[in-house]
Amino acid sequence: MKLLLDENLPKRLKQELKGHDVYSVSDMGWNGKKNGELLLLMTQHQFHALITFDKNLQHQQNFKKYDVLVLVLNAQDNTFLTLSRLVPKLLDFLIDFPTSGIIEIKEE
């Protein structure tokens, strides 16, 4: 699966998402892009999902316009140590993911 890490996430998360083709926004040269533009670029470049820490994204975009899955990591902070604890849950979810929409993945 082709995944994009939002610029608000540590790049080291890429190494934790084994079995997937993972790029960061920075890798793609898309730093500073607004959310709507980023979602459009993702569609054009055939990404399956955006992984983000932006909890407000779901209130800012009309996701019916985009055929992309957005996975919002909901944790106390966006440090690698904290977010790496969500990776097993994220990987489990990606096994049979829906093709679009927003899913929140949070700490127990």
Residues 11-39: pLDDT tens digits? 999 999 999 999 999 999 999 998 788 88
The chain-wide mean pLDDT, for the chain, equals 87
pLDDT given at position 16: 95
Q: Is the model's pLDDT at 98 over the cut of 90?
A: no
Which amino acid is present at 101?
G
